[in-house]
Amino acid sequence: MSALVDFAEVEVGEHLPGIRIPLRRVDLVMYAGASGDFNPIHWNERIAVDAGLPNVIAHGMLTLAETTRVVTDWTGDPGAVISLSCRFTRPVPVPDDDTGAALMVGGRIAEKLAAERVAVELIALLEEPDQSEVTVLKQARAVVQL
């Protein structure tokens, strides 16, 4: 059982505390080194634009990993995540400036499962320059062992 979350006290519909996660080009470089994914659309703006993208984009799995932080922060245990799934619906462009991009991530308890597990619906929104937010993941779900 996680030190922060007691299965008996978790309620379906409960929202996990949201997080704002900045993504800068340096984060993409570090992720590329860690993952071995050096596709130039993640670091070369010319190639990304030639491929029809608006700019260099964050790796999809980096976006999912950062979104999952809402769960790992809530449980206090990264090992509590049993499974993850999602559909990537929109790329996350990362401008070459001091600000980069910002993800707004959150979650909601969707279901209590057997063996003290819960299903969490994950939410990942890209904060646009005009202050609007656009969904970048759909059907995002984590199963968590409490």
* Residue pLDDT, tens place only, 52-65: 999 999 999 999 99
Is the whole-model pTM more than 0.85?
yes
Query: Which pLDDT band, with edges at 50, 70 and 90, does 129 fall under?
Result: confident
Average pLDDT along the chain: 95
Looking at the predicted structure, is the pLDDT value of residue 3 above 60? no
| Average pLDDT of the residues in 88-97 | 96
Task: Tell me the per-residue pLDDT of 22-36, one tens digit each, with 9 for 90 and over.
Answer: 999 999 999 999 999
| Domain range enclosing 14 | 7-23+57-145
Cβ-contact 21, 62 below 8 angstroms: no
- Any idea what the CATH number is for the domain that residue 94 is in? 3.10.129.10
Domain count, the chain: 1
Mind giving me the DSSP string for 87-124?
EE-S--B--SSSS-EEEEEEEEEEEEETTTEEEEEEEE
Q: Is the pLDDT confidence value at 2 over 70?
A: no
Q: Would you say residue 89 lies in a domain?
A: yes
Res. 107: pLDDT tops 80? yes
Across the range 129-137, mean pLDDT stands at: 89
Flag whether 72 is in a domain: yes
What pLDDT is recorded for position 131?
77
Quote the pLDDT of residue 130. 82
Q: How far does Cα 109 stand from its chain's mean position? A: 16
For residues 54 and 45, give the distance between their C-alpha atoms in angstroms, rounded to a whole number: 9
pLDDT of the residue at 1: 43
